[in-house]
Amino acid sequence: MSFDDAYGALTDHDDDARWAYGTGFADPLAGVPTAIPDGVDRADLAAYCLMLGDDALIMSHRLQQWVTRAPELEDELAVANIGLDLLGQARLLLTRAGEAEGSGRDEDTLAYLRDPHEFRNVLLAERSDDDFAHLVARLLVFATWRLALLDRLAASGDPVLAAIGAKGVKEVTYHREYAAQWVVRLGDGTPVSHERVQAAVDAVYPLVGELFETHEVERRLAGRGIAVEPASLRAEFDAVMAEVVAAATLRLRAATAVEPGRGRDGMHTAALGEILGEMQELARAIPDGAW
């Protein structure tokens, strides 16, 4: 299919009134069986998909806040594309959550019409960034953890989660490499850039502990071959982070343990309320609107 201009490509859609994302792309789940696997608790599967989907959705929103603030135009495009990758993952996961719970909620309802205590993302995703060094340090931690998770999720007994994992590995590999390159560039750069990225790493590391706490939902689904045990990701995460930090001439502080299940159980910081206030304003004001 060809178009005379870029706008024509953007606006070419069938029944999807939302042209801003997702049009003109092949369905990543085309041909994938969508039936819930036998013996899998639907409520657990829905909760797990919300966890992974909310991580991606909230991190994506934080990234888009940097689109006009990055050091160079090339980085604005890179950050925007990383945000879109995560938004795409969020859409697939929230849709799967809605299918699993069977209550008729779709991706839009789950994204725009839930209150903060109903979100299941880790606190790392909602944290704000003081400067670009904080952004890339947080992205490095997030992408290193998520890449290890998605790589294992590609072997899930749920065909939909397996497809999302396989697709996500290709995307998040780039996210991790982009963030790692910037952390090394800043860490091994000027005294000022080194100081800033070291402060960023120090600030984000207390949030690392939560990433490897296993929630009861994850434990039950992992036992059935559906989910990934977060604790199993720690060795790979530590090895990658140690390699990047050494190349950047930085040091790592010990990760601070957090209360198990804090974000996963809906206990968030004020930052999430601020994000949702911005993200959900239009959808809540015009709940039946289409754009």
249 Cβ neighbours under 8 A, 6+ residues apart: 187, 188, 194
- Residue range 131-149: mean pLDDT, rounded: 98
Model confidence at 256, in pLDDT bands (50, 70, 90)? low
> Is residue 26 in a domain?
no
Which domain covers residue 228, as residue numbers? Answer: 41-285
> Is residue 2 in a domain?
no
Dist CA 50 CA 119 (whole Å): 8
Q: How many domains would you assign to the chain?
A: 1
For residue range 154-199, what is the model confidence (pLDDT) as tens digits? 999 999 999 999 999 999 999 999 999 999 999 999 999 999 999 9
Report which of 5, 198, 226 is spatially closest to residue 100, judged by C-alpha positions: 226
Say what the pTM is. 0.90
> Is residue 4 in a domain?
no
Dist CA 69 CA 71 (whole Å): 7
Dist CA 10 CA 42 (whole Å): 36
> Is residue 13 in a domain?
no
Domain of residue 123, CATH code: 1.20.1260.10
pLDDT at 150: 98
> Is residue 114 in a domain?
yes
